[in-house]
Amino acid sequence: MKNVTEIFSENVFNDEVMKSRLPKNVYKNFMNTVTNGDTLDMTTADIVANTIKEWAIEKGATHYTHWFQPLTGSTAEKHDSFIAPAPNGMAIMEFSGKALVKGEPDASSFPSGGLRQTSSARGYTAWDPTSYCFVKEGSLYIPTVFLSYTGETLDKKTPLLRSMDALSRTAVEFLKLFGNEKVTRVTSTVGAEQEYFLIDKKMYDQREDLILTGRTLFGAKPPKGQELDDQYFANLRPRIAAYMADLDEELWKLGIYSKTKHNEVAPAQHEMAPIFTTSNLGTDQNELAMEVMEKVALKHGLVCLLHEKPFEGVNGSGKHNNWSMATNDGQNLLDPGDTPMENLQFLTILCALIKGIDEYADLMRISAASAGNDHRLGADEAPPAIVSMFLGEELDAVLKAIEEDTVFKTETQTFEIGVNALPSFPKDSTDRNRTSPFAFTGNRFEFRMVGSSDNIACPNALLNTIVSEELSQFTEILAPFKGTDGFENEVKKLLKSVLKKHRRIIFNGDGYSLEWIQEAKRRGLPNYPSTVDCMPHYTDEKNMRIFKKFGIYTENELKARTEVLLETYSKTIRIEARTMIEMTRKQLLPATLEYIHCLCEAVAVKKQIGISSFTEEKMAERLSDLADALYDSANNLEIQVNTACEIGDILPQSRYFHDNVLAEMERMRTTSDTIERIMPSSHWPIPDYSQMIYNV
């Protein structure tokens, strides 16, 4: 492999490439569009487009595509070549500013939640100049947003971009209260740690459940799981090390700061962690990283599983969303700082977050809701479905001192929590809490609820919107006192008021404990165990209000997203159930019956020669009973699925899938897994857990 610095971003049309290739005035105009939102005139767009085309052709590109993120949760692309007819019957390569800025993909088959009819095919993609273009597999990729013909958003990115603008506006006004007059833009940042499983492709190809659903619908627990924690941070197996080396190289070429790689706790589970960047670019890069992970795995005879719970009984996979805010003059707003005023600013922002997470805990839960993630939350190092905040003992003690007007003491100093004597905190003043959904980790919050296959645009858009609302409220309260001698006292009064009302969201203990469930109920915190429980709250009046206030969603767009998410939930469970039925009838039951037949033949032979057939008879009897139960369960599950599909309204339908179909699926799995434990591996028709997670 070449030197990392030589290959890094070699396939990205980034700022350095722009500076070197664009005329100075064009580069200046373009950067004004990126940083200030100025309109990009078509003359500038044409020059930029031609420059990008020439650069892309040098990289081997023959096509271009507007790359967008529809409500399917993944990405979409339609490729057009640069080729155009020449008068002499030959071809030329052309690419206009119009083609760069706007595209028109067929939008009829993407989810819309009723915003448009299936017969209405027209949709538009619009270039997002804040995210870099890149070349991959012979095409120029242009990051875009995706809109309907009538202007409604049909993608994940547009709400994120809107929320980033809202956060910047409100945060800039808020910072002026604390003397930060030079700051003109605040950007939310994110680093999404990506967990995943790797298994041998030959094993994968024999598992219809993995192929169709991404998770194992059947599978008895192996004799050894993750009990010894010997997989965690263990020496990388040669095959895995080779995969990770290739993955890093491909990600680096695309400008993705892949920083950390290691084995995770579960067998066959691993993690890649990038360096943080803007939320917009981080979202694009995470979607791209997941695609690259899957393609590189195939080159090594592996399959990368991004489902939140591909294997029952071991850790699921999450996507730890490390969120913060940065100013255009280099400040991290979640860094406590070194001076009293910086510290006061930090504590005020922290209290805004405390208030926001408490008031909009339902939105935080919704942002991590999916059929796959429901299997993961609440166990095996995933946080519970109850949203809470972890601050650590020292920071929590500071907030208690503010709330109670008491003295805060450290090992070396004593501070009066007053106007000019707020303490300075070390970055790592507290341990990390793996059971906390939203944990402060020194200079950022780690939102651990997000599922491994999720698009992080939604959680970051909702988080940005929540913080925008709280900072705007704080600014309105404190603005009359700006620059006065009483400003700091007013801040202290505000913080005391917020803490007294919203301290209930802070929990530094074990989120897995049964005691916490009872304690959370006593505190009045919402508990939404499943997607079906939380999703209807998306359109609650208080949530609708802030989305409208900051222009994130219209009422119709929000209702449409609710419907799409619930419909996706129901379809996911339906596909899983039908896959179980098919596997049972075509693979598991025939194999079981065949082995019962073998046992019965052995019984007959032994009886003929007068040898005891006790074991064979007992095994045949036991398996026969289980086979009958599995047969009945498959029939019952089919009835339940058909009943669910006849329900017209999406919310009752999704509830039926949750309450009835999932319950029957669990009964069927229990029966099948019991059979698997009895059957010899030579007769079981699909690879078992031991073969899959230890054979890499």
319, 389: one domain: yes
**Residue 560 is assigned to a structural domain of this protein:** no
Q: Which tokens sit at 423?
A: 């303490």
145, 283: one domain: no
- Point out the domain boundary residue: 124, 154, 184: 154
Closest C-alpha to 678, from 625, 635, 623, 639:
623
Residues 6+ apart with CB under 8 A from 376: 308, 309, 316, 317, 318, 382, 451
- What pLDDT, on the 0 to 100 scale, is given for residue 99? 87
Alpha-carbon distances, residue 539 vs 318, 425, 536 (angstroms): 26, 39, 7
Question: With a cut of 50, which residues of the chain have pLDDT below it?
Answer: 412-417, 419-422
* N-term to C-term CA, the chain: 24
- What pLDDT, on the 0 to 100 scale, is given for residue 312? 92
592, 510: one domain: no
- Point out the domain boundary residue: 553, 584, 603: 553
**Residue 562 is assigned to a structural domain of this protein:** no
Question: Distance (Å, rounded) from C-alpha 75 to C-alpha 566?
Answer: 20
C-beta separation of 258 from 276 below 8 A: no
Question: Distance (Å, rounded) from C-alpha 463 to C-alpha 188?
Answer: 9
580, 673: one domain: yes
**Residue 194 is assigned to a structural domain of this protein:** yes
**Residue 650 is assigned to a structural domain of this protein:** yes
- Number of other residues whose CB lies within 10 A of the CB of residue 80: 13
Q: Mapping DSSP to helix (H, G, I), strand (E, B) and coil, where does residue 339 land? A: coil
573, 519: one domain: no
**Residue 50 is assigned to a structural domain of this protein:** yes
**Residue 131 is assigned to a structural domain of this protein:** yes
- Number of other residues whose CB lies within 10 A of the CB of residue 182: 10
Alpha-carbon distances, residue 10 vs 13, 459, 660 (angstroms): 8, 30, 52
Q: Which tokens sit at 498?
A: 């917020």
Burial label, 608 (beta-carbon count in 10 A; 0-12, 13-18, 19+):
exposed
71 bridge partner residues: none
Q: Which residue has the tokens 């809109």?
A: 147
Q: Mapping DSSP to helix (H, G, I), strand (E, B) and coil, where does residue 581 land? A: helix
513, 596: one domain: no
450, 389: one domain: yes
Question: pLDDT, tens digit, for every residue of 18-75?
Answer: 999 999 999 998 888 888 777 778 888 899 999 999 999 999 999 999 999 999 888 9
Residues 6+ apart with CB under 8 A from 633: 584, 664, 667, 668, 671
Domain carrying residue 22: 4-154
Q: Which tokens sit at 26?
A: 């064009």
Per DSSP, 454 falls in state S
**Residue 353 is assigned to a structural domain of this protein:** yes
584, 544: one domain: no
Q: Mapping DSSP to helix (H, G, I), strand (E, B) and coil, where does residue 303 land? A: strand
HSE, side-chain direction, 13 A CA sphere, residue 571: 9
Question: Distance (Å, rounded) from C-alpha 671 to C-alpha 626?
Answer: 6
147 bridge partner residues: 124, 153
At 235, which CATH number? 3.30.590.10
- Point out the domain boundary residue: 104, 128, 154: 154
By DSSP bridging, strand 389-390 and strand 438-440 are parallel
Question: pLDDT, tens digit, for every residue of 402-437?
Answer: 888 776 665 544 444 454 444 555 555 555 667 789
C-beta separation of 607 from 544 below 8 A: no
Question: Distance (Å, rounded) from C-alpha 575 to C-alpha 34?
Answer: 42
Where residue 37 falls (left for φ over 0; alpha for ψ -120 to 50; beta otherwise) is left
589, 660: one domain: yes
Length of the chain: 696
At 676, which CATH number? 1.20.120.1560
Domain count, the chain: 3
By DSSP bridging, strand 389-390 and strand 269-274 are unpaired
500, 425: one domain: yes
307, 261: one domain: yes
Q: Which residue has the tokens 């045949």?
A: 620
Question: Distance (Å, rounded) from C-alpha 333 to C-alpha 345?
Answer: 8
At 94, which CATH number? 3.10.20.70
Angle between the N-to-C axes of helices 457-478 and 340-359, in degrees from 0 to 180, rounded to the nearest 10? 120
Q: Which tokens sit at 269?
A: 């589970």
Q: Mapping DSSP to helix (H, G, I), strand (E, B) and coil, where does residue 669 land? A: helix
**Residue 559 is assigned to a structural domain of this protein:** no
Question: Distance (Å, rounded) from C-alpha 159 to C-alpha 277?
Answer: 18
Burial label, 432 (beta-carbon count in 10 A; 0-12, 13-18, 19+):
middle
409, 533: one domain: yes
